[in-house]
């Protein structure tokens, strides 16, 4: 099996996680070890911890969802009547190619079949829906540290971050599926 080279965004995520662990660890040791009991030190530790939490769980769940058997045509992944208009209003076509991709190899038309790309898009969408749920769980950390508002803000930003990728997958996948359907019709007409 060919080892997949990590993309720039993947390497960046791992570096941010490593930095987050170091900063959170140092901050918590300083604050709770009574070396430097300053609210700002605790705040820095919490922010570093939350960034690490969000990124690390996204990587973990991205690997877990790979185990699921997913169908592109299942109810959850079907295009809804309002989506085309929503994509026009949000101008998804203009910015979708500028978003970072954790594993761009999965979406390369020259290296994969359209069926494989459609499945990758569906799995990517599922990953980001799971991430939305994970983002909501971060609010529970307010039970430990209080200040529920900061955790709500963190969750909202994380949901918005994942929302862009959900929009991109939902925008692109129906187009890929339509091309596949046309190819099947053409190949059936030739037979």
Q: In whole angstroms, what is the distance from residue 35 CA to residue 29 CA?
A: 8
Instruction: Report if residue 139 sits inside a domain.
Output: yes
Q: Is residue 167 part of a domain?
A: yes
Task: Give me the DSSP letters along 86-114.
Answer: HHHHHTHHHHGGGS--S-GGGG-TTTS-H
Question: Which residues have C-beta within 8 Å of that of residue 126, sequence separation ≥ 6?
Answer: 65, 68, 70
Q: How many domains, in total, are found in the chain?
A: 1
**Residue 95 in domain:** yes
Of 128, 138, 136, nearest in space to 53 by CA: 138
C-beta of residue 19 within 8 angstroms of C-beta of residue 49:
no
DSSP 8-state class, residue 35: S
Q: What is the pLDDT of residue 88?
A: 95
The answer to whether residue 3 sits within a structural domain is: no
Contacts of 6 by beta carbon, 8 Å cutoff, 6+ apart: 14
Provide φ and ψ at 67, rounded to 5°: -80, -15
Close Cβ partners of 104 (under 8 Å, ≥ 6 residues apart): 7
- What is the domain range of residue 158? 8-190
Read off the pLDDT of each residue in 171-175 and give the average, rounded to a whole number.
93
For residue 63, tell me if it sits in a domain: yes
2 assigned to some structural domain:
no
Give 20-71 pLDDT, tens digit per residue: 999 999 999 999 888 877 888 999 999 999 999 999 999 998 888 888 888 8
Mean pLDDT of the chain: 89
The reply to whether 64 falls in a domain is yes
Model confidence over 127-169: pLDDT tens digits? 999 999 999 999 999 999 988 988 999 899 999 999 999 999 9
Position 98 in a domain: yes
Question: pLDDT at position 103, please?
Answer: 83
């Amino acid at each position: 099996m060919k080892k997949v080279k990590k993309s720039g965004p993947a390497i960046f995520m791992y570096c941010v996680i490593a930095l987050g662990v170091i900063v959170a660890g140092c901050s918590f040791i300083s604050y709770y070890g009574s070396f430097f009991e300053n609210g700002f030190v605790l705040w820095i530790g919490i922010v570093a911890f939350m960034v690490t939490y969000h990124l690390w769980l996204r990587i973990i769940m991205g690997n877990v969802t790979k185990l699921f058997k997913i169908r592109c045509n299942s109810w959850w992944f079907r295009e809804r009547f309002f989506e085309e208009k929503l994509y026009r209003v949000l101008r998804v076509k203009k910015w979708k190619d500028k978003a970072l991709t954790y594993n761009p190899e999965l979406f390369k038309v020259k290296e994969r079949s359209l069926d494989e790309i459609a499945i990758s898009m569906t799995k990517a969408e599922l990953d980001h829906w799971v991430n939305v749920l994970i983002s909501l769980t971060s609010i529970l950390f307010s039970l430990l540290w209080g200040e529920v508002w900061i955790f709500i803000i963190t969750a909202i930003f994380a949901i918005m971050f994942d929302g862009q990728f959900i929009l991109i997958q939902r925008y692109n996948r129906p187009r890929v599926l339509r091309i596949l359907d046309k190819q099947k019709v053409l190949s059936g007409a030739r037979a």
